[in-house]
Amino acid sequence: MFDYLANPTRFVRIADVLFRPVAILATGLILVGLYFALFASPADYQQGDTVRIMYVHVPAAWLAVLGYVAMGVCALFYIVWRHPLADIALRAMAPVGALFALLTLVTGSLWGKPMWGAWWVWDARLTSMLILFFFYVAVIALANGFDRAERGSRPAALLALVGVLNVPIVKFSVDWWNTLHQPASLIRSGGVSIDPSMLTPLLFMLAGFHLYFVALVILRMKALLIERRITSLQLRQARQTAKPVHPTNTGPNA
Amino acid sequence: MNAFIQQIQRDLAIAWASRLDIGVILLFFVIIVTMFPLAIGPQPEILRPLAVPLLWIAAFLSILAGFDRLFAADLRDGWLDQVALSKLPLFAYVIAKAVAHWLVSGLPLLLAVPIVGLLLQVESAVLPSLVIALLIGTAALTLLGVIGASLASGARQAGGLMALLVLPLALPVLIFGVLASQPEAGSFMSPHLKLLAAVLMVLLAIAPPVAAAALAEADDDGGA
Amino acid sequence: MTGGFFSMGGYAAFIWPCYALTAIGMIWLAYASWRKAKDNAARLDALEQGPPVDGTDTPDAEG
């Protein structure tokens, strides 16, 4: 299947076909999820209505991590198997995953204030997510940090691979740090016993967020592929309309 | 093996030729350490528990400052092409660069820690485990710098980009390192130290191939 | 919609900004991505119908 999709023109055609249904389905699932989350589900026995924040916080956190793993897989395809669309996929996924990481932090903070009394607490999960956000920003900055646009693909892919290997290390080290520094922790890291009536909104939002991710990645990949085509067309047209050779025109760019 | 040693010797000779630069790293270390009491206040009771963590942070930042010169010169003056043509495999070249860089940046810091630590009222009982943990930690950080410098070669804002790449990856090293520096049981062989060493092993495995791949690309692209 | 719904058991100040910020973030990224795709497609169309290639014997500089 990945070989089939490797042709950019074919991918753009497939993307055009897939995008609208995926986007509509995503929107539908999220809307249904919102209905359940805000209306048709009960408040929690202990946390009251703040449990409703979980319905955006948990899906966002899940997608943030999944997004980074997906980026790592793309990086693998790019570095090892040289799949022609893998770096485009990686570039497309990074901002979406980064957004989810940021939303996780923001919603986690808004959840934490009523629960624990502080806008930010250094609990293991939020701290790990903060570091994951840094990892995302690093990949995005590296991918776009070169004058020649495509030059950033390989370093960004290598960094994503290094990052994916490091995510478990970071998670472990933060958990380690957290348990050592807070032996008698009064902070229950968001452990909510899931009542079946709470599962419904959670699953709908989770599914909706997944499809949102897919839709946006398809959209961004299409935009990037078109951008590449534009660049190569511009190069070709520049060559075809180039003036006759002058001594000062030759040689590598200064 | 010969070429490997020669690469290290070359870098050491170059560093020795501008040995004042080593002094700059040390001075940077001292200045950062000085900033902490100035910001926090001079009371020993406050500084002493913070001494070890602050020394770690200062050491990290000092070493970080030297990373962008890791590969830049070799890329610019074509030495990397020579290496590519020679019998020295690129990943071995990378390890040699890391060793030389650590000898020039990490080792002086290690030797300075007992003295500079005085500025933060560090307890002398802690010094042996601190130095051993820093030994492993600075080595790990050097490998991270190798990764960061090679990935960012040729980028527009290579220095800032490198810091952005290296520091998040360095956080586990910081966590384990500080814990390993102040073991409870007295002996320095704590589980924290073992974890720190494990991270170093992982970095030893991934830094050379990653950096080699990144440098090959940077070299193809026409150097720094 | 009763006042009770909006006050969310007193936690309104946390829950509503939460959902609002999430919605704003996701909608903004979706719009920006869609915008970029649309703009790029327009630029591509302009290029593909673009300045006609010179059909006369202008020597190709690249050789």
Question: A114-138, pLDDT tens digit by residue?
Answer: 888 888 888 888 999 999 999 999 9
- pLDDT, position A248: 62
Distance, CA of C54 to CA of A180 (rounded, Å): 73
Name every residue in C having a CB less than 8 A away from some CB of A. 5, 8-11, 14-15, 17-19, 21-22, 25-26, 29-30, 33-34, 36-37, 40-41, 43-44, 47-48, 50-51, 53-54, 58-62
Say if CB B150 and CB B211 are below 8 A apart.
yes
Closest CA of chain A from B16, distance in Å: 31
- Is residue A47 very low, low, confident or very high in pLDDT (cuts 50, 70, 90)? confident
- Does C22 score more than 60 pLDDT? yes
**Count of beta carbons in the 10 Å neighbourhood of residue C9:** 15
Distance, CA of B25 to CA of B97 (rounded, Å): 17
Say if CB A244 and CB C58 are below 8 A apart.
yes
Q: Which residues of A touch C15 (CB under 8 A)?
A: 49-50, 52-53, 110
**Structural domain of A216:** 2-179+199-235
- Taking an 8 Å cut-off on Cβ atoms, the answer to whether A52 and C8 are in contact is yes
Looking at the domain assignment, is residue A57 inside a domain? yes
Distance, CA of B135 to CA of B148 (rounded, Å): 20
* Total count of domains within chain C: 1
Q: Which residues of A touch B165 (CB under 8 A)?
A: 138, 142, 159
- Neighbouring subunits of C (3+ Cβ pairs under 8 A): A
**Structural domain of C42:** 13-46
B214 touching A (Cβ < 8 Å): yes
Looking at the domain assignment, is residue C37 inside a domain? yes
- pLDDT, position A58: 93
Closest CA of chain B from A177, distance in Å: 7
- Taking an 8 Å cut-off on Cβ atoms, the answer to whether A230 and C47 are in contact is yes
- pLDDT, position B99: 93
* Total count of domains within chain A: 1
Chains A, B: CB pairs < 8 Å: 79
- Which of B147 and A178 is assigned the larger pLDDT? B147
- Taking an 8 Å cut-off on Cβ atoms, the answer to whether A49 and C9 are in contact is yes
Closest CA of chain B from A96, distance in Å: 19
Two structure tokens written together for C53 = 């290639």
Looking at the domain assignment, is residue C25 inside a domain? yes
- Taking an 8 Å cut-off on Cβ atoms, the answer to whether C60 and A240 are in contact is yes
Q: How far is CA B49 from the centre of its chain?
A: 24
Closest CA of chain A from B118, distance in Å: 25
- pLDDT, position C61: 46
- Does B183 score more than 90 pLDDT? no
Query: What count of residues does chain B have?
Result: 224
Closest CA of chain A from C41, distance in Å: 7
- Tens of pLDDT along B2-58? 888 888 888 888 888 888 878 888 999 999 999 999 999 888 899 889 999 999 999
Among chain A residues, the shortest Cα distance to B209 is held by: A158
Looking at the domain assignment, is residue C56 inside a domain? no
3-class state of residue A192 by DSSP: coil
Looking at the domain assignment, is residue C19 inside a domain? yes
Asked whether C and B share 3 or more beta-carbon pairs under 8 angstroms, the answer is: no
- Does C42 score more than 70 pLDDT? yes
Distance, CA of C39 to CA of A36 (rounded, Å): 37
Looking at the domain assignment, is residue A192 inside a domain? no
Among chain A residues, the shortest Cα distance to B200 is held by: A169
- Summarize the confidence of residues B46-71 as an average pLDDT: 90
Say if CB A221 and CB A92 are below 8 A apart.
yes
Looking at the domain assignment, is residue C20 inside a domain? yes
Looking at the domain assignment, is residue A245 inside a domain? no
- Summarize the confidence of residues A129-157 as an average pLDDT: 94
- Taking an 8 Å cut-off on Cβ atoms, the answer to whether C44 and A233 are in contact is yes
Q: Which residues of B touch A173 (CB under 8 A)?
A: 171-172, 175-176, 195
Pick among B151, B181, B221 to test the A interface (most A CBs inside 10 A): B151
Q: Which residues of B touch A138 (CB under 8 A)?
A: 164-165, 168
- pLDDT, position A187: 43
- Reported as type and span, the H/E element at residue A178 is helix A153-181
Looking at the domain assignment, is residue C39 inside a domain? yes
- pLDDT, position A130: 95
- pLDDT, position B29: 94
Looking at the domain assignment, is residue A186 inside a domain? no
Place of tokens 């209905």: A35
- Tens of pLDDT along A88-106? 999 999 999 999 999 999 9
- Which of A126 and A2 is assigned the larger pLDDT? A126
Q: Which residues pair with A48 in a beta bridge?
A: A44
Say if CB B162 and CB B141 are below 8 A apart.
no
**Structural domain of B105:** 2-220
Q: Which residues pair with A44 in a beta bridge?
A: A48
- pLDDT, position A246: 61
Looking at the domain assignment, is residue C17 inside a domain? yes
- Taking an 8 Å cut-off on Cβ atoms, the answer to whether B156 and A137 are in contact is no
What are the helix and strand counts (H, E) for chain A?
7, 0
- Does B142 score more than 90 pLDDT? yes
Closest CA of chain A from B20, distance in Å: 32
Question: What's B66's DSSP letter?
Answer: T
The 3-state secondary structure of B10-49 reads HHHHHHHHCCHHHHHHHHHHHHHHHHHHHHHCCCHHHHHH
Among chain B residues, the shortest Cα distance to A173 is held by: B172
- Taking an 8 Å cut-off on Cβ atoms, the answer to whether B176 and A173 are in contact is yes
Q: What is the ipTM of this complex?
A: 0.89
- Does C59 score more than 60 pLDDT? no
- Cα dihedral B178, B182, B183, B189, rounded to 10, equals 70
- Does A56 score more than 50 pLDDT? yes
Q: Is A9 exposed, middle or buried (0-12, 13-18, 19+ CB in 10 A)?
A: exposed
Q: For B57, what's the count of Cα atoms within 13 Å in the CB-facing half-sphere?
A: 12
